[in-house]
Amino acid sequence: MNGLLKGGILCFLIMLLSCSSDGDSSGSEDQETSVEISISDFSITINENPDAGFVLGQIEASTNQGSISFSIASENPSGALQITSSGMISVANASLFDYETRETITATIEARIGNVTRSANISIALLDLLENPFLGNAIFNSQQDVDDFGSQNYDHITGALQIMPISSVTDVNDLTPLLALKKINNGIFIHRSPDLNSLNGLDNLKYIGGLLKITVNEQLSDISSLSKLDTIPGVLHLAQNPSIKSLSGLENLKSIEDGFFLNDMTGVRNIDELINVNNFQGGLIMRNNTLLENLDGFVNATGELTALSISNNTSLTSISGLSNLGGDDLGQCGVIDNVNLINIVGLESITGSDEIIVSGNSAINDLNGLVNLELVTYNVSFIENQILGDFCGLVHLANEGTIGGIYDSRDNLYNPTIEDISNGDCSL
């Protein structure tokens, strides 16, 4: 009897301890449930110069328990933003939202519950507000025209900016009255202004909608005021400005969308300032640039050429910087009278052209740059390249490609027929 009683008491104690243990385990699991916060980055585009307190938006965040509080962990510039504890962002210092000073305001927002934090990136892009447009083309034939225009503080020209003479030359010598200009809907033409030595005055210009043509300005040596341009939708045309020694001012260009003409720029040694151009479309015409040594500034540019003419650049030794420019639908492709050019490596991206001319290049000894050429609609000419003895770069064209017109090879060191090239007799 005593044994049965003791056994019953023991069972009861075991059950009691088991229940107690189960209860403690459940409580521990509840206490150890982790806090989770999810938060999204925030971006918005607004007009510059908003009012203080202007509401930008709500930070999107959620949690599995508790209430999130928000704060600004960092911002650039400091003091631009404010945020409520519930995540509403607004303008704090309106003077910092000035497009001319900065185009983007950034911040990092911190969401917190206890010791648990998560961050989100904030980006606010500002739109430039143009307030005083000039309607139509602004045409300046004299310095007085420039001064009169500048006195009106126009910040926007809906047409083109044209500085050009009525007869022979202009007397324009100072563009600083144009400092208010930010945008020109069409192009810029600066022509025959022999007293103009810089483009100071165009320092705030951030957009042009057409070509940039600067030609026949004998004293112009400084184009650095164009440094805020990142795109030229039309042709970039520089010609007969002998005092320009470099293209300093064009370092921020990323896109040239309708061609580049560099002609008779006798002081320019290279185009290194175009190193950030990654998009190029249109024709590339480079003629009579007597000091130009290479085209390495285009090494990062990709795109479709519509024409190529490289001629009479007497110091040019390399065109390898063009290796990512090419296409299958060029007009004429001409490499002519570049007496120090040692090869045409750089033309490998050209697969088709209306006409190919390689002539008068006394230092070229091979045509390996044309290794991928497969279609020439009309004529192919290799003439008076005195040490040219290797035509093996044309094997693909001879065997698998098409020449729609005449193949002409003469007055080179070796002058094979297209049949010779096809049969393997492509070099001396």
In 3-state terms, what secondary structure has residue 10?
A: helix
Identify the pLDDT of residue 4.
Answer: 42
Identify the pLDDT of residue 27.
Answer: 41
Identify the pLDDT of residue 13.
Answer: 42
Dig out the tokens for 182 from the structure: 């930010």
Identify the pLDDT of residue 32.
Answer: 53
Identify the pLDDT of residue 2.
Answer: 45
70 burial class (0-12, 13-18, 19+ CB within 10 angstroms)? buried
- pLDDT one-digit tens code per residue, 77-97: 999 999 998 899 999 999 899
Pairing of strands 236-239, 260-263: parallel
Contact predicate 289/337, CB 8 Å: no
Identify the pLDDT of residue 128.
Answer: 85
The secondary element (H helix, E strand) that includes residue 407 is strand 407-410
Domain range summary for the chain, segments of one domain joined by +: 37-127, 327-428
- pLDDT one-digit tens code per residue, 293-347: 999 999 999 999 999 999 999 999 999 999 999 999 999 999 999 999 999 999 9
Query: Please, what CATH class does the domain formed by 37-127 belong to?
Result: mainly beta
303-342 exposure pattern, b = at least 16 Cβ within 10 A, e = fewer? bebbbbbbbbbeebebbbbbbbbbbeebebbbbbbbeebb
Identify the pLDDT of residue 6.
Answer: 47
Q: Which residues of the chain have pLDDT under 70?
A: 1-32
Beta-strand (E) ranges in 250-339? Answer: 255-256, 260-263, 279-280, 282-287, 303-311, 325-326, 330-336
In whole angstroms, give the CA distance from residue 13 to residue 9: 6
Identify the pLDDT of residue 11.
Answer: 43
The dihedral through the CA atoms of 94, 96, 100, 106 has a sign that is negative
Dig out the tokens for 336 from the structure: 């002519």
In whole angstroms, give the CA distance from residue 380 to residue 43: 55
